[in-house]
Amino acid sequence: MITYNNLINRFETFANSNHFIRTFTHGSPDGVDLDKFELYPAMHVVYTGATYGDLDKTYSFEVYILSLPPNKTDAADFSASVISESEQVAEDLIADLRTGGEVFKRNDLYSIESAFTTPLEDAQSNVLSGILLNISIIAGFDNSSCNAPLT
């Protein structure tokens, strides 16, 4: 059975092997904080919950791919560039999930229920810019795969 920990480990492996991403974190949305990232661009994954079907479980995540402009005067130009690069990282992640590529292996039987991106930018201040990828990943779920510790 594919677990939350398995998926977080895959996201971290993806981020660590991606040439664009310099920092990986996961946890609550509060973790997307200028003071918490040491290097940019950064990827932060937020688990938003799961839904259960008869034979599958759908994990939902918010994946933030963000960077910080070097200074206020470059913020607008930097924002356009980082949004483009961040979206390419999101597309690489989607492609790896769909094809069972380098990180999300074919024998793990992942599939994507939905994926969409939202640009994150604020050209008026020196804040993070990038992409928010909302992604729902379907994994097999067998109701009998774990014996409940009941007496």
Report pLDDT for 124. 54
**What counts of helices (H) and strands (E) characterise the chain?**
2, 5
Q: Give 24 or 76, the one with higher predicted confidence.
A: 24
Domain spans, the chain? 4-140
Alpha helices (H) along 18-147: 75-99
What CATH number labels 4-140? 3.30.70.1700
How far apart, in whole angstroms, are the C-alpha atoms of residue 124 and residue 131?
A: 17
Report pLDDT for 136. 97
pLDDT digits (tens, 9 = 90+) for 67-112: 887 766 666 777 888 899 999 999 999 998 888 777 877 666 778 9
Residue 68 gets which letter from DSSP? -
